[in-house]
A and B are shown apart, each in its own frame.
Chain A
Amino acid sequence: MTGIIDVSQLAKTYGDGTKAVKGISFNVSEGEFFGFLGPNGAGKSTTIKILTTLLRKTSGSASVAGFDVDSDGAKIRKIIGVQNQDTVVDEDLTGRENMTLQGELQQMHGQALNERVDELLKIVDLVDAADKRAGFYSGGMKKRLDLATTLVHDPKILFLDEPTTGLDPQSRAAIWAYLKRLNEQGITIFITTQYLEEVDRLCRRLAIVDLGEIVAQGTPSELKQEIGADSISLGFENSTMNGGDTRSKAKELLEKKFDGISNIVNSDIGLTVYAKNGGFLVPEIVRAFDDAKIGLSSIGVSSPTLDDVFLKHTGKRIRVEEVSSANYRGMFSRRRR
């Protein structure tokens, strides 16, 4: 028992034999902002469901705030807030009614509940819309309301499954800013998301899962250091030269002339080169290409990002769903009653 969330050898096999989670172990300390990342189908949502007592584990152990997820489910549910991947609000109820109902289901009532709802409406900036039905809210407002409903009972731990997916950048920034404030007030946050820059900025530690197993965990900077290389992206003026492919010519040249390059991969505009001390390498590359008459249209260096970490461990780039597709879904989905 070291953290507020303790998971050891946790496994879940569904009825149809699918092994969604294959013996993962991790822990989250009290007050931590913990990122839980992975490609689609990696087992993130399954893990969240087990930790929030919505799903029974197959084997291993898991506890939240010292309570066992199987035997002390009721105690866990009193101190956690859970936001699902889909925005869930009752569209026939007003924003205030949605929040009040959640509070009532958390056994709150009377003046204390009303005050708490008013306070939260202010925080998530929904005071003006509080008495309008949630069905008339925009996507961003619904998401903020959904988040607020999970906070009415002042939970100790917040589980968030993709809280900002499908939102416009402004709403997204507002949610992240709000999560940061909550965390500063001492709430432990367990989050899955596809927005790696925010994870990098806010999460103190993170774990990457793939195919039901944890493939990496640590602080963002530890994980980035593991990559150990900067990436230099090269764009070429012409894709062919002297009847040959520019990329392969350039690749040949780089491999011949430079030590310390750990990897070269094709990119949309040309090549991406991974090397230590990328900054020092740039002028040399430019000179060498100039001599070889390979025309460069662009060159850029960046230190490793979590995106690179993710790519290294899962072999996939994280895919962020576009806002436009979310709007499309919203327009044609049936109105919920």
Chain B
Amino acid sequence: MSFFSDSYHLFIRWMKKLVRNPILVFFSLFQPIIFLVLFTQLFSKFGSLIGPGVSYTVFATAGIVLQNAFSSAFQSGTSVVDDIKSGFLTKMLATPVNRSAILFGRILSDMFRVAVQTIIILALAYVLGVYPQTGVLGYVLVILTVGFSGLAWSGISLALGLKTKSGETVFGIAGFLTFPLLFMSTALVNPTSMPPWMQTVSSYNPISFAVNAIRSLIMPPPHCIICTNVFDWSTILQAYGVIALIGVVTLGATLYLFRKVVS
């Protein structure tokens, strides 16, 4: 099946491009790291609002690793626009390459990249004293959740890129979406400290679902006494359901738009 080998070769292409443009990784890691190191200090008093003895750094880490998936995923669309504009996509299309593999190779590389960045952030968080209470499996599940979220969200930027064929537009819309979605979710604040209307928004915000799952893996659930190795499976499964739903919609749209560009 040329689908797998083509996807693999194109995945390698994107990985090489990423490694050779470390500035791209720097930019998408810069914000989460600033959040993790400085932002959490600035809002350290928020912790006591959440519960007695709760560290805000521990609380916010879940939101910060997800934010990293978010910002990297939005670079995906611009890269595809670059391939369209430079003619590289056309060049590929004149070969027998499997059409879907062109997209899949890119999505795979996005997922892999987000996972690696998550590991970097989690390592830094460990230095700051934050680590999943659920142990190794917790780490694995955090990385997977962030990775799959990145995959689902990269579908949005890919679809935008294919539709508008303008990197600037993708960037503009991404910037426009990132902050409202992030702040009106459970990523950085406890919903109880939000005005009621925002609580409602937050409870439907897809980001909240993923953040809640990651947080349930990192932070001990409130009011429990022995809190290690307790998995809140219903929260985790809910998150995967929402991610799958978003993924199907955004990647479906991407595939549809890609077919249109290709034919």
A contact set with B: CB distance below 8 Å: 52-54, 56, 74, 77-78, 80, 82, 84, 86, 88, 90, 92-93, 97, 101-102, 104-107, 109, 133, 149, 336-337
**Structural contact, A105 and B9, CB atoms closer than 8 A:** yes
**Structural contact, B96 and A53, CB atoms closer than 8 A:** no
Interface residues of B in 73-117 (CB under 8 A from A): 79, 82, 85-88, 90-97
Q: How far is the CB of B167 from chain A (nearest CB, A)?
A: 9
The secondary structure that dominates the A interface is: loop
Interface size class of B (residues with CB under 8 A): 20 to 34
B13 at the interface (CB under 8 A from A): yes
Q: A82-B94, A90-B17, A93-B16 are in contact. Are A107 and B2 (CB under 8 A)?
A: yes
**Structural contact, A88 and B96, CB atoms closer than 8 A:** no
B41 at the interface (CB under 8 A from A): no
**What 10 pairs between A and B have smallest CB-CB spacing?**
A82-B94, A88-B87, A105-B97, A92-B17, A104-B9, A105-B95, A336-B86, A77-B96, A88-B91, A92-B20
Alpha-carbon distance A74/B99, docked complex (angstroms): 11
Chain B minimum-CB-distance residue to A87? B87
**Structural contact, A74 and B94, CB atoms closer than 8 A:** no
**Structural contact, B93 and A54, CB atoms closer than 8 A:** yes
One digit per residue, 1 when the CB lies within 8 angstroms of any chain A CB and 0 when it does not, for chain B 1-32 equals: 01001100100010011001100000000000
B263 at the interface (CB under 8 A from A): yes
Q: A92-B17, A93-B17, A105-B9 are in contact. Are A52 and B88 (CB under 8 A)?
A: no
Alpha-carbon distance A243/B263, docked complex (angstroms): 66
**Which residue in B5, B79, B91, B94 is a CB contact (below 8 Å) of A53?**
B94
Chain A minimum-CB-distance residue to B18? A92
**Structural contact, A88 and B17, CB atoms closer than 8 A:** no
**Structural contact, B90 and A88, CB atoms closer than 8 A:** yes
**Structural contact, A86 and B16, CB atoms closer than 8 A:** no
**Structural contact, A336 and B91, CB atoms closer than 8 A:** no
**Which residue in A92, A106, A107, A149 is a CB contact (below 8 Å) of B16?**
A92
Could you say which residues of chain A place their CB within 8 Å of the CB of B97?
105
Alpha-carbon distance A52/B96, docked complex (angstroms): 11
Could you say which residues of chain A place their CB within 8 Å of the CB of B88?
88, 90, 336
Alpha-carbon distance A52/B92, docked complex (angstroms): 12
Alpha-carbon distance A109/B2, docked complex (angstroms): 12
Q: How far is the CB of B112 from chain A (nearest CB, A)?
A: 17
Q: How many A-B residue pairs have CB under 8 A?
A: 64
Could you say which residues of chain B place their CB within 8 Å of the CB of A336?
82, 85-86, 88
Besides the known contacts A88-B87, A88-B88, 13 further A-B residue pairs in the complex with CB atoms under 8 A apart: A53-B94, A54-B90, A77-B95, A77-B96, A90-B17, A105-B6, A105-B92, A105-B95, A105-B97, A106-B96, A336-B85, A337-B21, A337-B79
Show 9 residue pairs from A and B whose CB-CB distance is below 8 angstroms, ordered by the A residue.
Answer: A52-B94, A54-B90, A56-B263, A77-B96, A82-B94, A101-B13, A105-B95, A336-B88, A337-B17
Q: A84-B91, A336-B82 are in contact. Are A133 and B20 (CB under 8 A)?
A: yes
Q: A92-B17, A337-B21 are in contact. Are A82 and B91 (CB under 8 A)?
A: yes
Could you say which residues of chain A place their CB within 8 Å of the CB of B96?
74, 77-78, 105-107
**Structural contact, B95 and A106, CB atoms closer than 8 A:** yes
Q: How far is the CB of A51 from chain B (nearest CB, A)?
A: 10
Q: Could you say which of B82, B85, B86 has the most chain A C-beta atoms within 10 Å of its C-beta?
A: B86
Chain B minimum-CB-distance residue to A80? B94
Alpha-carbon distance A52/B94, docked complex (angstroms): 7
Q: How far is the CB of A192 from chain B (nearest CB, A)?
A: 15
Could you say which residues of chain B place their CB within 8 Å of the CB of A74?
96
Q: How far is the CB of A113 from chain B (nearest CB, A)?
A: 11
Q: A86-B87, A336-B82 are in contact. Are A101 and B9 (CB under 8 A)?
A: yes
Q: How far is the CB of A154 from chain B (nearest CB, A)?
A: 13
Q: How far is the CB of A49 from chain B (nearest CB, A)?
A: 9
Q: Could you say which of A88, A93, A109, A149 has the most chain B C-beta atoms within 10 Å of its C-beta?
A: A88
Could you say which residues of chain B place their CB within 8 Å of the CB of A54?
90, 93-94
Q: Could you say which of B6, B86, B94, B97 has the most chain A C-beta atoms within 10 Å of its C-beta?
A: B94
Alpha-carbon distance A74/B88, docked complex (angstroms): 18
Chain A minimum-CB-distance residue to B79? A337
**Which residue in B82, B87, B90 is a CB contact (below 8 Å) of A337?**
B82
Could you say which residues of chain B place their CB within 8 Å of the CB of A92?
16-17, 20-21
Q: Could you say which of B2, B21, B79, B90 has the most chain A C-beta atoms within 10 Å of its C-beta?
A: B90
Chain B minimum-CB-distance residue to A93? B16
**Structural contact, B17 and A104, CB atoms closer than 8 A:** no
Chain B minimum-CB-distance residue to A97? B16
**Structural contact, A90 and B13, CB atoms closer than 8 A:** yes
Alpha-carbon distance A78/B95, docked complex (angstroms): 7
Could you say which residues of chain A place their CB within 8 Å of the CB of B16?
92-93, 97
Q: A86-B87, A92-B16, A336-B86 are in contact. Are A102 and B95 (CB under 8 A)?
A: yes
Could you say which residues of chain A place their CB within 8 Å of the CB of B92?
105
Q: How far is the CB of A79 from chain B (nearest CB, A)?
A: 10
Alpha-carbon distance A54/B87, docked complex (angstroms): 12
Could you say which residues of chain B place their CB within 8 Å of the CB of A90?
13, 17, 88
Chain A minimum-CB-distance residue to B82? A337
**Structural contact, A104 and B90, CB atoms closer than 8 A:** no
Could you say which residues of chain B place their CB within 8 Å of the CB of A104?
5-6, 9
Chain B minimum-CB-distance residue to A149? B91
Alpha-carbon distance A86/B88, docked complex (angstroms): 10
